[in-house]
Amino acid sequence: MTAVTHLTALDIGALVSFIACWVGYAKYHSYKSKRDLSLMGIVHNYRRDWMAVMLQREGRIVDSSILANLSNSSTFFASTTLLILGGLLALLGAKEKLVNFVSDIPFAAKGSDELWEIKILVLIVIFIYAFFMFTWSLRQFNFVSILVGAAPPPGLGGGEESERFVVGAGRLSSLAGDSFNDGLRAYYFALAGMTWFVHPWALIIGSPLVVLVLYWREFRSDALKALSEI
């Protein structure tokens, strides 16, 4: 008997809606960010301005400190994700405790041991994806650090060469930030995925709520208004 046969129609619908919300929002975010004001779009412009200002500085200790701070954030989340993965793998061997805990929650859905394994495996896949995003973000920030070290000092290099460096370095920094953002988004949807342990309807309701929170923060937040007014 395959694992899929342990999923009820409601479980399958909940999982499909969860995936649709995640993938759909990612596509929508990419599309809308290119046409409307967004946090990532504004920050990309500031990253490019940062590289332009960096070329005018004699000492670049400030730039190194900024990159170290950005890299530390990716490192922290990558390390935290490994700890979470370790806990989830341990949970696979202690399903009975999880079942007993959830069974005490009112209206919690019951299911077979195989169904609980599927739910845990879904979370494991989510955090594996998050780990790859955070580590890729870290590598890209390391590449930006190398570019900062290789940047020409003030007064050297033509205007076209400097502009090419600013555009390229700013773009690479934004790619690192995008990967970090993808990892954070996985954390948000992992929180929605955890509601599946309670009931499939909780996942069906929780997934669009996560999309709403992400949309509001990216396109309607006070942080966006503050950055756009500078």
Domain borders along the chain are 48-228
* pLDDT of the residue at 163: 86
What percentage of the chain has pLDDT greater than the value 90?
Answer: 60
Q: Of 34-43, 60-69, 98-107, which gets the smallest average pLDDT? A: 98-107
Query: Given a cut of 50, is residue 124 above it in pLDDT?
Result: yes
Query: pLDDT at position 159, please?
Result: 73
Largest CA distance in the chain: 71
* Single pTM value for the model: 0.89
Whether residue 202 contacts residue 17, with contact meaning beta carbons closer than 8 Å, is answered with no
Cα(197)–Cα(147) distance, rounded to whole angstroms?
Answer: 46
Residue 98: pLDDT band with limits 50, 70, 90: low
Residues contacting 23, CB < 8 A, separation 6+:
none
Q: Summarize pLDDT for 148-190 with one digit per residue, the tens.
A: 988 887 766 557 778 888 999 999 999 999 999 999 999 999 9
